[in-house]
Amino acid sequence: MDIRQTIRQKRRELSQAQRDNAQAIIYQKIKKHPAVSQAQHIAIFLSFDGEVDTKPIIEYLWQQNKSVYLPVPVAEHKLIFLNYTPNTPLVKNSFGILEPVIDKTKIINIEQLDIIFTPLVAFDDRGFRIGMGGGYYDRLLENYQQQQIYPIGLAFACQKVDHVDNQHWDVKLPEIIYA
């Protein structure tokens, strides 16, 4: 079985107690994070396939009056981001992930995002990640430094591997919050 499938399975097999413990630590780290405190426009994702549950993070960000955005995949493996509020209608996309119904008035320019919480399947100490295989976040984050966007990966410790066999297009994350 390839690394992507192996890690996805491990992640799905975490018990509820393991998830709760790890997520409590992750949520605390986010609440104390200076870049999160300073940010206004924050992109995140809705969890699926056993990913770290982002719903409590989103609730926290709303409480803090942050503007929250969710990705919607469009043509050519690109992502656009739409403002997400408690009233935003959601639909299941072809991956089975909930996403906002497209409303052009809710789209934010990528350069305006301060933080992009980034999903991942596996990661290593250097910050290299393996995603779901579409290269969406590699394309999205290609110029993140010039755009003054700060990407933060979110993961469980069981998703850490010794070495990601990275390719030239793979973007190294400056930070991954995991527990």
Ligand X SMILES: Nc1ncnc2c1ncn2[C@@H]1O[C@H](COP(=O)(O)OP(=O)(O)O)[C@@H](O)[C@H]1O
- Which range touches Mg ion (CB under 5 A), out of 36-44, 48-56, 60-68, 164-172? 164-172
> Interface with Mg ion includes 79 (CB under 5 A)?
no
> Interface with Mg ion includes 51 (CB under 5 A)?
no
Q: Are 38 and 114 in contact (CB under 8 A)?
A: yes
Beta-bridge partner residues of 67 = 41
Please report, for residues 14, 101, 130, 131, 172, the alpha-carbon distance to residue 136 in angstroms, rounded to integers and kept in the order given: 26, 19, 11, 8, 14
Residue placing its CB nearer to ligand X in the complex, 110 or 130? 130
Least separation in angstroms between residue 135's CB and Mg ion is: 5
Both structure tokens of 75: 């043509």
- Among Mg ion, ligand X, none, residue 133 binds (CB under 5-8 Å by kind): ligand X
Binding site for ligand X (CB under 6 A): 130-135, 138-139, 142, 169-170
Both structure tokens of 113: 């995002």
> Interface with Mg ion includes 170 (CB under 5 A)?
yes
Residue placing its CB nearer to ligand X in the complex, 63 or 169? 169
What lies within 8 Å, CB to CB, of 13 at 6+ separation is 50
d(CA 104, CA 100): 11
Residue placing its CB nearer to ligand X in the complex, 33 or 139? 139
Nearest residue (beta carbon) to ligand X: 135
d(CA 159, CA 157): 5
Residue placing its CB nearer to Mg ion in the complex, 49 or 138? 138
What residues line the site for Mg ion (CB under 5 A)?
138, 170
